[in-house]
């Protein structure tokens, strides 16, 4: 295939990406759409990954990092509600693709990275593509203080934080439900089979689609509680649905989570929730592998579980539900077992 033909094919794939992954999912900012139509995403991935550049998924770029899924780039960019005069600070240069999208829209982009090789590679490519409004900084982590410092000539007025960046933040605030997007391919949904098996299975399958619609059309696997062994739990992020009376997997780890249970009720933060329409979403380190995350969606009834899983929860560390309403949410201190 000639180079011109190959570029033509890649351009068609880029257009399909924009139409099928960006516009179809509700991105409306014409500046974001125009930027993603223009920028050759395939140049931001390794040569052996070009065939995957326009897929609906993150793509490895080396150094254990990825270029974010196209929709996530569009979603985060649109959420900034950008103006042409803005100066944006981007935490985590990575491939440089997000930097390019921002640079198409705003006056200046300040992008910082802790992996020097990625920063140098991105700067070389973005310079070759003609971007003159992007400013780069390689930062060093002060491990003793778990912090970093950097300065720029002009103060940014907006910040974009890539959740995949290796930037140190307080551990007690790290485990949030939004982190589910970090490694969507290493995620399983676990439902209970002790009672109401069909209802629980139906809820799990529906939530599988909710997650796919929220971020990617790839469906995370759904597993029965009895199918999940320690090895599988160790290698994946876990979404655990239900109550220990329904879900035997949750029952196995009951002494490792900061929630107590009685028949059709739960106790959290020294408060008892005993009504059928009470529920809790809680995010914790995976007790089998604290480098991964466990998402608990606890409900006192199948109907309540159904209501809580009707849409994706975008929030912090925990949320208390009454029916389909969140009545309290916030961050909680991790149990001592996770801080050893």
Catalytic residues: 68
Dist. CA 325–CA 277, nearest whole Å: 10
Dist. CA 148–CA 4, nearest whole Å: 45
Give 18's contacts (C-beta < 8 A, 6+ positions apart).
Answer: 33, 36, 37
Give 34's contacts (C-beta < 8 A, 6+ positions apart).
Answer: 104
- HSE-CB at 131 with a 13 A cutoff on CA atoms is 29
* Residue 283: other Cβ atoms inside 10 A: 23
Dist. CA 96–CA 73, nearest whole Å: 11
Which residues lie across from 206 on neighbouring strands? Answer: none
Question: Can you list the alpha helix ranges (DSSP code H) found in 47-148?
Answer: 70-79, 97-103, 116-128
- C-alpha closest to that of 56 among 143, 158, 181, 169: 181
CA angle 237, 217, 236 (to 5 degrees): 10
3-state secondary structure of 200: helix
Give 257's contacts (C-beta < 8 A, 6+ positions apart).
Answer: 282, 284, 287, 296, 335
Dist. CA 223–CA 269, nearest whole Å: 29
């Amino acid at each position: 295939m000639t180079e011109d033909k190959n570029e033509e094919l890649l351009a068609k794939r880029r257009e399909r990406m924009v139409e099928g992954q960006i516009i179809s999912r509700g991105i409306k900012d014409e500046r974001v759409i125009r930027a993603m139509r223009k920028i050759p995403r395939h140049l931001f991935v390794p040569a052996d990954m070009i065939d995957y550049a326009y897929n609906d998924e993150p793509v490895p770029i080396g150094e254990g990092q990825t270029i974010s899924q196209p929709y996530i780039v569009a979603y985060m960019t649109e959420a900034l509600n950008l103006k042409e005069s803005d100066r944006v600070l981007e935490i985590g240069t990575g491939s440089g693709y997000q930097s390019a999208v921002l640079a198409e829209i705003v006056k200046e982009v300040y992008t910082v990275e802790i992996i020097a090789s990625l920063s140098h590679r991105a700067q070389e490519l973005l310079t070759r593509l003609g971007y003159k409004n992007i400013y780069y900084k390689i930062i060093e982590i002060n491990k003793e203080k778990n912090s970093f410092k950097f300065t720029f000539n002009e103060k940014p007025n907006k910040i974009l934080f890539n959740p995949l960046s290796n930037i140190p933040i307080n551990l007690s605030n790290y485990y949030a439900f939004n982190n589910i997007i970090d490694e969507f391919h290493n995620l399983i949904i676990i439902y209970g089979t002790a009672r109401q098996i069909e209802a629980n299975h139906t809820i799990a399958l529906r939530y599988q689609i909710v997650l796919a619609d929220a971020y990617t059309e790839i469906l995370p696997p759904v597993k029965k509680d009895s199918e999940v062994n320690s090895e599988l739990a160790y290698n994946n992020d876990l979404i655990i649905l239900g109550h220990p009376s329904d879900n035997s997997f949750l029952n196995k780890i009951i002494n490792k989570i900061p929630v107590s249970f009685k028949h059709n009720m739960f106790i959290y933060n020294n408060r008892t929730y005993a009504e059928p329409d009470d529920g809790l979403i809680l995010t914790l380190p995976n007790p089998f592998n604290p480098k991964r995350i466990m998402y608990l969606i606890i409900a006192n009834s199948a109907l309540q579980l159904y209501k809580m899983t009707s849409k994706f929860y975008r929030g912090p560390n925990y949320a208390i539900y009454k029916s389909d309403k969140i009545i309290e949410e916030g961050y909680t201190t991790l149990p001592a077992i996770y801080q050893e």
